[in-house]
Structure 1
Amino acid sequence: MGALHTLQELDALQDAMNKALDAIRAEIDVHDLPDLSNYATEPHPLDDAHFICPPRLYEARKLALATIGQIRNLIQRPYERVVEQSTAVYETACLDILVKTGILDKLADEEHANGMHALELERAFDIDSVKLMTVLRYLAAQGWLHEPDERVFALTRLALELRQGNNGRKWIMTPGKPTVATSLLDQLTHPDREWRYSRKPDETAFQLGNNTKLTLFEHLKRNPDELTQWASSVQSLGDAYHSAIINDYPWRELQSRSFVDCGGGQGNLSISLAELLPEAQFIVQDLEEVVPIAKANIARRLTDPAKRSRITVEPHNFFEVQPRGGDRIYMLRYILHDWPDHACIKILKNIAQAAGPKAKIIIVEVISVPCTTSAYAQYRGHPVTLDDLRGAKRHQAITPPAYIPENFGACAKMSLALGVHMMGVFNALERSMTEWFDLITRAGLQISRVQGLRGMVSIIECEVARQ
């Protein structure tokens, strides 16, 4: 790490931040977008999961957020960061109070756009205003609320994502994460060495925290209300990057092909592709209990009988041999990160055994990138800068500049946190490109293309390995 002293770190980060913010301002003007404001009472177009973010604007936001994270690490007192981090659990707890008491919905009413006094909230919810103010002011410091006058609190634009019907609301309402998190230490230091090194989905922090021998999926089957909420949160994660999946991969190259959506859930990926590819046929496969849910969702979303007729739903467990063989397109979206390596290899081998020589296996997953940091731009060949993306229509990731981690640091926090969660509930993990290559090769497949997307996921395109 001696090379990190080659440049003055604060100067390098300031330069990166200036370039990122200048690009964001320019892109907002070029694309005639509204000004950004924390205090807006309506979401910004950039907040919409369906908004197709221009490539340069997407990369400028990524760079700005990564730089903010690095500057914070550079200038904040370490002790303060330690205390902040050790009490971070209270942000989740306070958000729960905001949402689950109904206070957020009250503040979201148009008549309260300018906020409500803590005493008004006390009268409306019978909660001690002094205690409530402690919670709300903490949330205001985190950007979820603002305090236009002393003891008056209003929603920020960020908090609008927590309103009824939004994906953020679906995600935060799903319980269980704190229980799993507090049991992670016991999972990693379990007195039984076999458990400690286990890759089994029934030997995780989830079992320890919930005092059960059931896997998460078995637990959810026995608790339908939790299953519904869990499915809603998973769907919210799918929605967050759905537009990137549809727009950043060249699906039209596969026009007229037959697709198999393995573990396709409610069939949302197939529905979108059926609208994009009018000659393609789709088979959505999932467990028996999911089939009626998928059929109902397809009927609701595709009112055109011609489009609907091109999607078939059938029961299939992907741990069994794939019944649909030939030169099809097999899709696995957010499936493999739920499972340890041996299970993933079995899933892929079951497809490989059925796939023809011209078949494609499309894996939509996170590719975990190392957090290596250098005093130089990290690239092989010519670096890609924000200037290179002026007027670009096709997305291309920029090269991390000096002192920005290869994975863009703070921007990778969400995917890395989900990786920890996957470990805690499934003994699974988010994989690096090296790990994906090893897993895919062991399953008898070979990688033909890797496509980065405007989101935390990528597409890994595979085919049956040539003998």
Structure 2
Amino acid sequence: MGAPLTLPELESLQATMNHALDAVRDEIKRNKLPELSNYATEPHPLDNPAFVCPSRLYEARRLALATIGQLKSLLQQPYEKVVEQSCAVYDTAALDIFVKTGVIDRLADHSTPPEGLHVQELQKQFDLDAVKLAVILRYLASQGWLHETREGVFALTRPALELRKGNNGRKWILTPGKPKVAQSLLTQITHPEWKYSRQPDQTAFQLANDTPLTLFAWMKQRPDELTQWASSVQSLGDAYHSAIINDFPWRRWDGRTFIDCGGGQGNLSISLSEILPTSFFVVQDLPEVMPIAQANIERRAPAAAHEGRIAHEPVNFFEVQPRVGENHVYLLRYILHDWPDHACIAILKNITRVAPPSARFVIIEVISKPNTTSASDRHLEETVTLDDLVSVPHHVALTPPAYIPANFGVTAKMSLALGVHMMGVFNALERSMREWKTLLGKAGLRVVHVHTLRGMVSAIECEPVAAHAHVGHVGHIVGGKESH
């Protein structure tokens, strides 16, 4: 096969954008979805994290957004890009003002007219300077959070609906601390004693808060902040919960016992119990989390809780795993990205040192890809295009076309930003597949398969390396049956 045709960058990106948008329109019609509009007063089905997005539509949206990012870098004047980036700290500040002053709630109120409210009216209600408020709201409008229907009059756009009370976006934005940590990152990476440290108590977090405590120890002394932080973490879990349940072949393991390590409130185990009716689940976390987990399990899965199919117990994953048995499945969702490599290896070894060869591990985390680009389509004989995804029953990942980064560029910004935050808070990171394989190998695990999900995360399926695996002791009683 000859070398692939290389188009000029602008021409290639234009063709990619047209192809992606055509696919989005086709999938909206094919799946009988409402038309997309920024000015809708209700969320679109695609905005619902529980919606199982058709694979082609998911990939077409991702491709369109990646292309927009590449086009912006191609066309934007570099000096303007510098200034815009340096002022990005005001994105968070403006959004904080929007939510914490109550302006978002007033604009979301049913009594608000469709055209929105004038800043003078907001000044009367909130005792905020209308001139200053207009500066902030117009800045947010330029980023799609508001629609300025006429000068000084602002109404919510569809994305802003995610900031209303009860929504996951609201939970995330109310969690404080990121700007303080960000301001201390430079000191962290240049610190004469800490610059090469991997310890979770030698980070920007300690510098920003003038404390020797790790984040977890610090929040344990501040119950209100711990509750808010837990809420934001749960919102991240909710965002990709549907993809985790639908894109991994869980049903082949019905009848096995699942150990949900660091399982928090137990939402993953609860959802899996609904599709695996003969399996047992144990949600493990720290003692202070157990009352929250128990209440959530009894509320969301009363039958399974009554039958003993879902149990909960206090376990510190830095101690040897107490639940051991043939065909156990150990779940670690959003656990390892909180910790540097040596801590992750310790966590995993506390399981692999006692797990038999029949055990399986499912590690749900971001797999960071490089931001490399090519002027031609990659591996032409293996390329997956949007046309290949028409009516496919299961999710298949798209191959990034010419001039689109391997990580789909701006669509990876959320995971990359979280990676920077993890570094600033825990000395942790989001890892590449090469880094994951190295880490898992040191913990006595072999990667069996990597499952791509419709979301930021992937599921890494592992098994113990035979030389490291052995049964440690007789198992505990789970759901009325002995796990052995």
Alignment TM-score > 0.5, same fold: yes
The residue correspondences of 1:26-37 to structure 2 (distance < 5 A) are: 26-37=26-37
- Inter-CA distance 305–390: structure 2 relative to 1 (3 Å threshold): closer
CA shift for structure 1 position 6: 4.6
Equivalent-residue separation in structure 1 for 2:451 and 2:299 (angstroms): 31
Equivalent-residue separation in structure 1 for 2:410 and 2:173 (angstroms): 20
Shifted more, 358-367 versus 319-328: the winner is 319-328
The residue number in structure 1 matching 2:205 is 206
CA shift for structure 1 position 377: 1.3
Could you report, residue by residue, the CA deviation over 1:359-418 in whole angstroms, capped at 9, with x for unpaired residues? 101100000001110001123742000000001111001110000000000110000000
CA contact (8 A) 1:5 1:375 kept: no
CA contact (8 A) 1:55 1:395 kept: yes
The residue number in structure 1 matching 2:473 is none
The residue correspondences of 1:430-441 to structure 2 (distance < 5 A) are: 430-441=430-441
CA contact (8 A) 2:200 2:427 kept: yes
Equivalent-residue separation in structure 2 for 1:453 and 1:381 (angstroms): 23
The residue correspondences of 1:330-345 to structure 2 (distance < 5 A) are: 330-345=330-345
CA shift for structure 1 position 7: 2.7
CA shift for structure 1 position 446: 0.5
Aligned residue type for 2:405: P
- Inter-CA distance 226–4: structure 2 relative to 1 (3 Å threshold): farther
CA contact (8 A) 1:372 1:405 kept: yes
CA shift for structure 1 position 91: 1.4
The residue number in structure 1 matching 2:293 is 294
The residue correspondences of 1:396-407 to structure 2 (distance < 5 A) are: 396-407=396-407
CA contact (8 A) 1:326 1:354 kept: no
The residue correspondences of 1:110-259 to structure 2 (distance < 5 A) are: 110-112=110-112, 113-192=114-193, 195-259=194-258
Equivalent-residue separation in structure 2 for 1:439 and 1:196 (angstroms): 21
Equivalent-residue separation in structure 1 for 2:463 and 2:102 (angstroms): 50
- Inter-CA distance 433–51: structure 2 relative to 1 (3 Å threshold): same
Aligned residue type for 2:311: T
Unaligned runs of 5+ in 2: 468-484
1:322 aligns with 2:321: yes
Equivalent-residue separation in structure 2 for 1:306 and 1:447 (angstroms): 33
CA contact (8 A) 2:298 2:305 kept: no
CA shift for structure 1 position 32: 0.4
Aligned residue type for 2:273: A
Q: What TM-score, normalized by structure 1, do the two folds share?
A: 0.97
Match of 1:282, SS?
Answer: strand
The residue number in structure 2 matching 1:429 is 429
CA contact (8 A) 2:20 2:63 kept: yes
Match of 1:111, SS?
Answer: coil
CA shift for structure 1 position 306: 6.2
Equivalent-residue separation in structure 2 for 1:338 and 1:46 (angstroms): 29
CA shift for structure 1 position 308: 5.7
CA shift for structure 1 position 149: 1.2
The residue number in structure 2 matching 1:93 is 93
The residue number in structure 2 matching 1:361 is 361
Percent identity (aligned): 67
Match of 1:50, SS?
Answer: coil
- Inter-CA distance 377–227: structure 2 relative to 1 (3 Å threshold): same
Equivalent-residue separation in structure 1 for 2:24 and 2:41 (angstroms): 21
Equivalent-residue separation in structure 2 for 1:419 and 1:91 (angstroms): 19
Equivalent-residue separation in structure 2 for 1:447 and 1:269 (angstroms): 22
What is the aligned length? 463
Equivalent-residue separation in structure 1 for 2:226 and 2:18 (angstroms): 46
Equivalent-residue separation in structure 2 for 1:4 and 1:337 (angstroms): 38
Equivalent-residue separation in structure 2 for 1:58 and 1:132 (angstroms): 36
CA shift for structure 1 position 309: 2.4
The residue number in structure 1 matching 2:420 is 420
Could you report, residue by residue, the CA deviation over 1:23-51 in whole angstroms, capped at 9, with x for unpaired residues? 00000000000000000000000000100
- Inter-CA distance 198–74: structure 2 relative to 1 (3 Å threshold): same
1:266 aligns with 2:265: yes
Unaligned runs of 5+ in 1: none
1:313 aligns with 2:312: yes
The residue number in structure 2 matching 1:352 is 352
CA contact (8 A) 1:4 1:375 kept: no
1:81 aligns with 2:81: yes
CA contact (8 A) 2:297 2:305 kept: no
Could you report, residue by residue, the CA deviation over 1:56-109 in whole angstroms, capped at 9, with x for unpaired residues? 000000000000000000000000011111111111111111100000000001
